[in-house]
Amino acid sequence: MSVLSRLRRASLRTGAGLLALTAGAFALDRAMPPDLSPLGDTSTLVVSRHGAVLRAFTNRGGVWRLPARVAQVDPLYLKMLLAYEDRRFRSHPGVDPAAILRALGQRLTNGRIVSGASTLTMQTARLLAPRRRSLVGKLTEMLRALQLEGRHGKDEILSMYLTLAPYGGNLEGVRAASLAYFGKEPKRLTPGQAALLVALPQAPSTTRPDRFPDAAKAARDKVLRVMARAGVLSEKRAHEAMQAPVPVRRRAMPFDAPHLARRLLAERPAKRARVIRTSIDQPLQRALQNLVRHAAGALGRKATIAVLVVENRTRKIRAYVASSDFFDRERSGQVDMITAVRSPGSALKPFVYAMAFDDGIIHPETIIADVPTRFGDYQPENFRRVYHGEVSVRVALQQSYNVPAVKVLDRVGPGRLAARLRQAGARLTFDAGRARPGLPLALGGVGISLQDLTMLFTGLANGGIVGPLLSRARVADNAPAGRPVVSPAAAYTIARILEDAPPPADFVADRNTRRARKIAYKTGTSYGFRDAWSVGFDGTHTIGVWVGRPDGTPSPDRYGRNTAAPILFRAFGLTPAGPGPAPGNAPPGVVLAANGDLPMHLRRFEKVDARGLAAPNPLSIAFPPAGAVVELERKREGSGYDALPLAASGGRKPLKWLVNGRPIASNPYRRQARWTPDGEGFVRITVIDVDGRVASIISRLK
């Protein structure tokens, strides 16, 4: 056989052997692929609209393993990591022959291991499937590294390492370490911070800074010196970084919007993505959490606060503060008071009036009587039992008078109002013994959550269109659309009325400020001071506030205007200033007119009272009683007598008081007056109401 033939046969055998080896390696790779399951067992993250972590949950093993990608990490850290761990990472196939030869040469020369030959890909293979350190284990890592390189790109492999690298305790991955040690994402790191994150995975159990700060500093400084020699850092920057202290404690993981995060986690279908993207604006969320925490300190031990912020145009929730302190057991901090059902007090009155505007029953300038009125066996009372006589509908809503609201609801129909609100998506709860909605609906005789109440007010800000509030960053195309609860004209009218409501104490009316910011808002207080509410909107956001005790016990003298409204105004101060709550141009159907220019049926409400409600109680003088002998009190200092209190009941305001036929100074819209006697003797006291009714008594002063 010729030499040429022998060479040809040898070549064929070699080729066949290489082909068989390649086929065998390919078959083995397919039969035994790398186990990537640890990458699927990461922490579930609830993140903000911009991707910042709001709340993280440990994985099944109780480990903080936050998924990380190359794009989420500071480029300086990546540069330092590759320079320190694997300079030829971008060029080798997973195993670095040059590093292996160098390590063997150092071992033979020095009789010990001076530097390792593990590439980042080999380290990633070991993190995916940990093994005992041995020759077999090392060879297995090399084979797995080659598999990884054949299946994944360099950035994918680097992202695996960034997710799985150990940092001490139950911290895995560069994001978990950066949040725990520096309180921030690793997107922007100082040279010292980056060096520490490079060093820790080398010996995480003995160099973790919260337990071994000196060892951590030594490991960090070693990395910095190597970076200076490699030219990654200048000598000056490396020296400055060495002067910085290392963190000596672990920080808590981010804990923003914890109630919403818990809710979304429970709603998440099984085996779905480990990242839940919300619509929350993290800076606003944190600012409101601080505001609520500070405000709750003045409310007593059991009281808490909930605040919900919604962007009007998108109906997306931008802040969700469901309690003042999630971990405060005395305040029932883990109870979500945004979804809890409570009595809204007067907060639903705008919808009573809005439906009446749409029905053509009233106009903002319609005159309505705020006087004691009985509706069958139901007699509503004003706050502090003070009545104001004839007022405009505008004033009645701005001042939240109860009797006018019940009168209007009686015409609109409580069943119609409840049905309209339910059709808009609001979940209303009535007492089990109540067969159908009644007139108390106007004053809080219903249960509703802060979320649904805020949703309804968002509808007023959106021209009367109410839609479900959205908490996810991305909304499917088939997300429920809004539906009208009132007309654009009624929504506009309500906004114009409520934007002129007097602000809470300690806040200046917008018309008296240089940079006016109009907020249309309404307050509410449930029976027995159990719940204080304030909901308002401008052209950009709607904000709802609830204050109270989760256990439902009363908080005396805390009501919507003095407790919830100040928090509402401060919350608006944390949002960007937007346009006013009402559009610049009135929509079709809005009638701008004074009372005298209205049609006759809209000038006064009582004239069209279809049910002939009971007239005011007869006018009488409650004090002093007729024929009574009243003992005068002399002033403690000087001469003369103390003022004598006078009180009337019934009749209609305004009232005029006379003593011995002469008028005395008094507030005509109050039923009380004070008169200072000039001596003893008999006196005739007279009161006259707006309809000319007269009540008069004679008493003796001594």
Which of 323, 324, 343, 346 is an active site residue?
A: 346
SS3 425: coil
Q: Which range is least confidently modeled, 55-64, 469-478, 584-593?
A: 469-478
User: Is the separation of the CB atoms in 330 and 302 below 8 Å?
Assistant: yes
Which of 85, 149, 185, 311 is an active site residue?
A: 85
The architecture that CATH gives domain 320-608 is 3-Layer(aba) Sandwich (3.40)
User: Is the separation of the CB atoms in 520 and 495 below 8 Å?
Assistant: yes
Mean pLDDT of 456-462: 97
- Note if 555 is an active site residue: no
- Note if 620 is an active site residue: no
Mean pLDDT across the chain, nearest whole number? 87
Of 154, 91, 101, 100, residue with least CA distance to 124? 154
- Rounded alpha-carbon distances, angstroms, from residue 158 to 154, 181, 500: 6, 22, 59
Kind of pairing between the strands at 681-688 and 694-701 = antiparallel
Question: What type of residue is 251?
Answer: R
pLDDT category of residue 15 using cuts at 50, 70 and 90: very low
- CA–CA separation, 469 vs 452, rounded Å? 8
pLDDT given for residue 610 in this prediction: 35
pLDDT category of residue 485 using cuts at 50, 70 and 90: very high
The domain segmentation of the chain, as residue ranges, is: 1-32, 34-45+54-243, 320-608, 620-701
The total number of residues written for the chain in this structure: 702
pTM passes above 0.85: no
pLDDT in tens, 557-582: 888 999 999 999 999 999 998 899 99
User: Is the separation of the CB atoms in 542 and 312 below 8 Å?
Assistant: yes
- CA–CA separation, 572 vs 175, rounded Å? 33
Q: Which range is least confidently modeled, 3-17, 189-203, 485-499?
A: 3-17
pLDDT in tens, 400-424: 999 999 999 999 999 999 999 999 9
pLDDT given for residue 509 in this prediction: 60
Bigger pLDDT: 107 vs 475: 475
The highest-level CATH class for domain 620-701 is mainly beta
User: Is the separation of the CB atoms in 354 and 494 below 8 Å?
Assistant: yes
pLDDT in tens, 598-625: 999 899 997 433 333 445 567 888 888 8
State percent of the chain over pLDDT 70.
87
Q: Which residues contact 243 (CB under 8 A, 6 or more apart)?
A: none
pLDDT given for residue 577 in this prediction: 87
pLDDT given for residue 18 in this prediction: 38
pLDDT in tens, 263-301: 999 987 655 668 999 999 999 999 999 999 999 988 888
- CA–CA separation, 306 vs 106, rounded Å? 65
Q: Does domain 34-45+54-243 have CATH number 3.40.50.150?
A: no
pLDDT in tens, 191-228: 999 999 999 999 999 999 999 999 999 999 999 999 99
SS3 250: coil
Burial (Cβ within 10 Å: 0-12, 13-18, ≥19) of residue 638: exposed
